[in-house]
């Protein structure tokens, strides 16, 4: 019926395709009809069904929980990691954010420390190695302690929880012109430095994680603040300042 509302939209997608890390990548253009109620990843599922139906290779992209928890959905959409919405992971982005006739450019996170694997998929295991270098605590296993056994000031607990919200997606690296991982490392150091459970490794945690970060080839922070802007969990750059204080603290204590 003329003038009736439709939730479908015609889109032009410019998608990065690259078979292997050794191959030369390129953008390929696809036409697709999507529904405004779809998530962005569901729209990519429709694209892949279309490609498979035509006998072509589907677009490889990372995903898992599709609930903004796992950090797998690492895409750069129209030049912005995770897309145009603040504090939103790619899997939480919905097509109603776009309009009929739009062109959307989709590419992978680009950083030397995140090697290309295929299409929109990069290897982000560098974050795992940084975490393994110092992002842990020494605790006895067994039954859970009483909730009030170790009093923690509410402000410290709140800041630790805010830092722990980091899902390790790598958007901070993709957004930073230096491909720095300081926001990720700062968040992981902060969540433990603020709690008594993190005390046993505190004197060496920050240094070990920064050494691992440098060894992976990440750049240095120059206070551009793009990391905080792109973070789907709104992690504050204040955690970078705390990381720097932890490094200084460790250095001073080691001289005593």
The CATH number of residue 239's host domain is: 1.10.1060.10
Residues 98 and 129 placed together within one structural domain of the fold: no
Indicate whether 26 and 71 sit together in one domain. yes
Instruction: Clarify whether residues 130 and 224 are in a common domain.
Output: yes
Would you say residue 2 has pLDDT above 60? no
Q: How far apart are CA 229 and CA 232, in angstroms?
A: 8
- The CATH number of residue 56's host domain is 3.10.20.30
* Same-domain check for residues 95 and 72: yes
Domain extent for 228 = 125-138+147-254
Task: Report yes or no on 3 lying in a domain.
Answer: no
Mean pLDDT of 85-108: 97
CA distance 64 to 4: 36
Entry pTM? 0.92
pLDDT at 252: 87
Judge if 212 and 237 occupy the same domain.
yes
Grouping H, G, I as helix, E, B as strand and the rest as coil, residue 27 is: strand
pLDDT band at 121 (very low <50, low <70, confident <90, very high): very high
Together in a domain, 113 and 162:
no
- Domain identity same for 21 and 95: yes
Residue 27 included in any domain: yes
| Number of Cα atoms under 13 Å in the Cβ half of residue 215 | 13
Could you report the per-residue pLDDT of 22-57, keeping only the tens digit for each? 999 999 999 999 999 999 999 999 999 999 999 999
Q: Are residues 132 and 105 in the same domain?
A: no
In a domain, 151, yes or no: yes
CA distance 159 to 142: 27
> Considering the domain boundaries, does residue 2 fall inside one?
no
Residue 107: enclosing H or E segment and its boundaries?
strand 103-108
Which segments of the chain does DSSP mark as H helices, in order? Answer: 40-53, 126-134, 154-164, 171-175, 182-193, 202-216, 226-230, 238-254
The Cα 116–Cα 233 span in angstroms is 25
**Token pair 């529904």 in the structure block, residue:** 35
């Amino acid at each position: 019926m003329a003038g009736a509302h439709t939730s479908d939209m015609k889109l032009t997608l410019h998608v990065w395709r690259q078979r292997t890390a050794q191959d030369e990548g390129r953008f390929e253009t696809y036409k697709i009809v999507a529904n405004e109620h779809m998530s962005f990843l569901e729209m990519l599922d429709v694209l892949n069904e279309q490609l498979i139906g035509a006998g072509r290779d589907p677009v490889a992209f990372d995903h898992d929980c599709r609930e903004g928890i796992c950090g797998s959905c690492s895409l750069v959409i129209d030049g912005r990691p995770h897309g145009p919405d603040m504090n939103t992971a790619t899997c939480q982005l919905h097509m109603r954010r776009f309009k009929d006739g739009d062109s959307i450019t989709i590419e992978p996170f680009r950083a030397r420390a995140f090697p290309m694997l295929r299409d929109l998929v990069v290897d982000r295991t560098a974050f795992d190695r940084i975490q393994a270098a110092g992002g842990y605590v020494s605790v006895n296993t067994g039954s859970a302690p009483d909730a009030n056994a170790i009093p923690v000031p509410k402000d410290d607990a709140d800041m630790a929880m805010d830092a722990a919200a980091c899902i390790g997606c790598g958007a901070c690296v993709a957004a930073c012109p230096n491909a720095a991982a300081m926001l990720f490392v700062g968040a992981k150091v902060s969540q433990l430095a603020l709690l008594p459970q993190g005390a046993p490794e505190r004197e060496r945690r920050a240094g070990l994680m920064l050494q691992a970060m440098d060894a992976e080839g990440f750049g240095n922070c120059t206070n551009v603040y793009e990391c905080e802007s792109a973070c789907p969990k709104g992690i504050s750059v204040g955690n970078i300042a705390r990381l720097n204080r932890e490094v200084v603290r460790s250095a001073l204590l080691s001289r005593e």
